[in-house]
Amino acid sequence: MSRSDLLTDSWGRAIRELRVSLTDRCNFRCLYCSPLREPAEAFSHGRLLFRHESPAGPPAPVWQPRAAILTFAEIERVVRLAVELGIRKVRLTGGEPLLRQGVEGLVARLAAIPGLEDLAMTSNGFVFPQKGRALRAAGLRRVSFSLDSLAPASFKRITGRDGLQEVLAGIALARELGLEPVKINSVIVRGLNDHEVEPLAVFAQAKGLRLRFIEFMPLDASRAWLRELVVSGREILARLRERFELVAIEAGNPAETARRWAFADGPGELGLIAPVTEPFCACCNRLRLTADGKVRTCLFSRQEHDLKPLLRGGASDEHLRARLRAIVRLKEAGHRIGEARGGQPARPMSCIGG
């Protein structure tokens, strides 16, 4: 296949990574991506305000009907065609991907696709202790966990449930299974968990984990994001350097989203992902497929491209490949966070896929 047949956008970027959301459902209610229409917590004027919940609790999320979600066969077909067009890395996301029944079977099907070099997953880790061994046996190669607090009360406040010990058990199991490197993603929000930057780094060093601090992005369902709540990557790095001796790690490829440092005196690694204050759009090589079959060319895209009518309407592989190439040509030069014409996408993170 010639270069012109591969996935290359109009800015000359070769698309090599695909994120596939398996479900919009989640068993957590994290403040920065919650599907709730009226979460109990809201951000206002740089402070966290806590509303009193009704006796019945917060309103139930509105999930996509099952018929709207892509089947495993449809997901496998899109991934296979994408790999034929140059995709080399696939990451399974959600919602919470481990809530999708039979996910181990999908992992096995995707792992068998010729040309796919890396199959990873991002999970909140809550049910990973029950499914980790089957996922590893099916062909999962790497896993990243979301962990924004090591304090039980703070963890519950952020996620909406008391599940810290289950997540820590999931991390331990992933290390035992050799799903290396085990990565931890921590979204830092001013006034919520910014005091935990150093404890999280200590935890990463002690466990030999790759910790990624991520800037708070405008992807929350309550649309309460404020720039003053963003703890910048530079601020986090300055604090880390006061506590640890860090050695910069050279990027393995220009599309890496994290700037990385090793601990000079021990295992583990720290990384900073700063899409708000230091965008890395110029090197972006990602495409996203939502659980309901929409292709997104950017996490902050205002437009989605629906593949489901083609998948369920008898379209040929050739037609689908042509459609994927055409969609990628529309990929934006970059996101527009903070610009007057930018702002949040229509759907929150839980519906787009992490």
Tell me the C-alpha distance between 182 and 268, whole Å: 10
Is residue 329's pLDDT more than 90? Answer: yes
Query: What confidence tens digit (pLDDT) does each residue in 138-175 have?
Result: 999 999 999 999 999 999 999 999 999 999 999 999 99
Is residue 184's pLDDT more than 80? Answer: yes
Bridging pattern class, strands 269-273 and 210-215: parallel
Q: What is the mean pLDDT of residues 4-17?
A: 91
Query: What confidence tens digit (pLDDT) does each residue in 192-204 have?
Result: 999 999 999 999 9
Q: What is the mean pLDDT of residues 63-77?
A: 93
Per-residue burial over 235-251, b if 16 or more Cβ lie within 10 Å, else e, is bbbebbeeebebeeeee
Residue 287 lies in a domain: yes
Residue 288, classified by CB atoms within 10 Å of its CB into exposed (0-12), middle (13-18) or buried (19+), is buried
Enter the tokens of residue 305.
């491209």
* Model pLDDT, residue 344: 60
Enter the tokens of residue 275.
């899409």
Query: What is the identity of the amino acid at 305?
Result: H
Tell me the C-alpha distance between 306 and 229, whole Å: 34
- More confident call, 247 vs 337: 247
Nearest to 75 by CA among 57, 102, 52: 102
Q: Of all residues in the chain, what percent carry a pLDDT higher than 90?
A: 68
Query: What is the identity of the amino acid at 93?
Result: T
Residue 304 lies in a domain: yes
Q: Which domain holds residue 109?
A: 3-44+71-352
Query: What confidence tens digit (pLDDT) does each residue in 243-285 have?
Result: 999 999 998 787 788 899 999 998 999 999 988 888 778 888 9
Query: What confidence tens digit (pLDDT) does each residue in 93-119 have?
Result: 999 999 999 999 999 999 999 999 999
Residue 63 lies in a domain: no
Helices 152-159 and 164-176 cross at an angle (nearest 10°) of 100
CB 33 within 8 A of CB 349: yes
Report the number of distinct structural domains present in the chain: 1
Query: What confidence tens digit (pLDDT) does each residue in 126-135 have?
Result: 999 999 999 9
Q: What is the mean pLDDT of residues 40-51?
A: 43
* Model pLDDT, residue 281: 80
Tell me the C-alpha distance between 31 and 160, whole Å: 8
CB 129 within 8 A of CB 169: yes
* Whole-prediction pTM: 0.89
Nearest to 212 by CA among 176, 237, 230: 237
Residue 52 lies in a domain: no
Arithmetic mean of pLDDT over the chain: 87
Residue 51 lies in a domain: no
DSSP 3-state assignment of 190? Answer: coil
CATH of the domain at 75: 3.20.20.70
Residue 62 lies in a domain: no
Is residue 353's pLDDT more than 80? Answer: no
* Model pLDDT, residue 311: 98
DSSP 3-state assignment of 103? Answer: helix
Residue with tokens 């830092």: 188
Is residue 49's pLDDT more than 60? Answer: no
CB 198 within 8 A of CB 171: no
* Model pLDDT, residue 298: 86
CB 155 within 8 A of CB 149: yes
* Model pLDDT, residue 55: 44
Q: Can you give the length of the chain in residues?
A: 354
